[in-house]
Amino acid sequence: MVTKRPVLVGVVVASALALAACGGARSEGTATASGGAQKYTIKFSHVVAPSAPKGKAALKFKELAESKSGGRLEVQVFSNSELYGDKDEFQALQSNSAQMLAPSTAKFTTVAPEVQVLDLPFLFDKPEDIAKIAAPETKVGKAIFDNQKLAAKNMKPLGLWDAGLKHLSSNKPMKSPADLAGLKMRIQPSDVLKVQFQTWKANPTPMAFSEVYNAMQQGVVDGGENPWSNIESQKMHTVQKHITESGHGYLGYILVINNTFYNGLPDDLKKVVTDAAKESGDYNRQVAEEVNQESKKKIQAAGTTTIYTPTDAERKALKDAVVPAVWNQFKDLIGAEIIDELLKAQAS
């Protein structure tokens, strides 16, 4: 009996090593009880509420992926930064602690700076423009979907999800660029957004999304920029007396998956993931504007905030202060060809 104990231990160790060696996607998968097809778990982390356009799309992705895979894929969705937040989500993705994220384009500043093209002020005038200008076959789309810097960071883009157009909020009326002077405005960590607010003579303050409400409540920042859905779901309107319906910028999310995990999936499940990503993206685009308009109504009904819609002349003054000035500052970073094409489209 004594001589057989090391053999038993060796078998256990060998079995454990064999399981660990599955690697890639299988590191998050577990075999079915019957010993049949392998199951895979996707941890999908994001920072907004389940009721926001991104939150709804994440749940739609879960529904589609699990259904299309016949249960071989399990998607665990973690919202409101409950698993990872702005400060650690990229590290979690690269280490395969989370397999999918949908960070805003502004958060890719240090990873793939060209993606900041979507942060340019007044890039879109209405939500319907987004799908056309940022389609995968356009120069803007290729800066996202064919981005080699993302590939080098082990990130595979699967889609572009909308949150909507951003509006200005603060505790003072904002009708002109002069009204923004001196205000401490929360921004995402984007060089484009920083220069945008500096050009308006405001003081941009980068801050994690989960910290914004408290910062507004305590006066650490004076205001910020967000779509209606983010303002309402995070209750920012309860600590901001004024919102200017400026529609001056776009908040979008790049749906990314850990590339090693993706490549470790069987071919049929890769197709499930990409199909579910496309269909949930289509769903996101359908519901984003609906959710935003419903959020606007809730803010109006709360009665805590004055909503101001700028006249055409007032919006033009806000735009003229930053376009083309801010756009031209980022020609070298984003690409002169892309900026020139976008400016040409604006002039037409």
Do residues 87 and 107 touch, judged by C-beta distance below 8 A? no
- Greatest mean pLDDT among 36-40, 121-125, 212-216: 212-216
Question: Residue 328, SS3?
Answer: helix
According to the model, what pLDDT value does residue 10 have? 41
| Percent residues over pLDDT 70 in the chain | 90
The single residue listed with the structure tokens 């980068």 is 206
The CA angle 226-228-234, to the nearest 5 degrees, is: 75
Residue 245 has pLDDT above 60, yes or no: yes
Long-range Cβ pairs for the range 233-236 (8 Å, 24+): 233/48, 233/49, 233/51, 233/52, 233/295, 234/49, 234/209, 236/169, 236/212
Residue 25 has pLDDT above 80, yes or no: no
Question: Residue 163, SS3?
Answer: strand
At position 116, the amino acid (one-letter code) is Q
According to the model, what pLDDT value does residue 92 have? 97
The pTM (predicted TM-score) of the whole model is: 0.85
According to the model, what pLDDT value does residue 27 have? 41
**What does the buried/exposed string (b/e) look like for 303-322 if buried means 16 or more CB atoms within 10 Å of the residue's CB?**
eebeebebeeebbeebbebb
> How far is Cα 82 from Cα 38, in angstroms, rounded to an integer?
28
First to last CA, the chain: 87
According to the model, what pLDDT value does residue 5 have? 37
| Mean pLDDT over the full length of the chain | 90
Structure confidence at residue 36 as a pLDDT band (50, 70, 90): low
According to the model, what pLDDT value does residue 127 have? 86
The full set of domains in the chain, from first to last, is 37-347 (3.40.190.170)
Specify the DSSP class assigned to residue 308: E
What digits encode the pLDDT tens for the residues 222-236? 999 999 999 999 999
Among 32-46, 67-81, 116-130, 200-214, the range scoring the smallest mean pLDDT is: 32-46
> How far is Cα 267 from Cα 290, in angstroms, rounded to an integer?
35
Instruction: Detail the DSSP E strand segments found in the chain.
Output: 30-31, 38-45, 73-78, 100-101, 155-170, 184-187, 203-206, 224-226, 242-258, 306-308
If one compares 319 and 34, the residue with the highest pLDDT of the two is 319
| Percent residues over pLDDT 90 in the chain | 83
According to the model, what pLDDT value does residue 35 have? 52
Cis-peptide, bond into residue 121, ω within 30° of zero: no
What digits encode the pLDDT tens for the residues 6-19? 433 343 333 333 33
| Separate counts of helices (H) and strands (E) for the chain | 16, 10
User: Quick one: tokens of 176?
Assistant: 């002109």
Rg, Å, the chain Cα set? 23
Phi, psi values for residue 182, rounded to 5°: 85, -10
Which residues, other chains included, contact 245 with Cβ-Cβ below 8 Å and sequence gap of 6+? 167, 307, 308, 309, 310
Structure confidence at residue 95 as a pLDDT band (50, 70, 90): very high
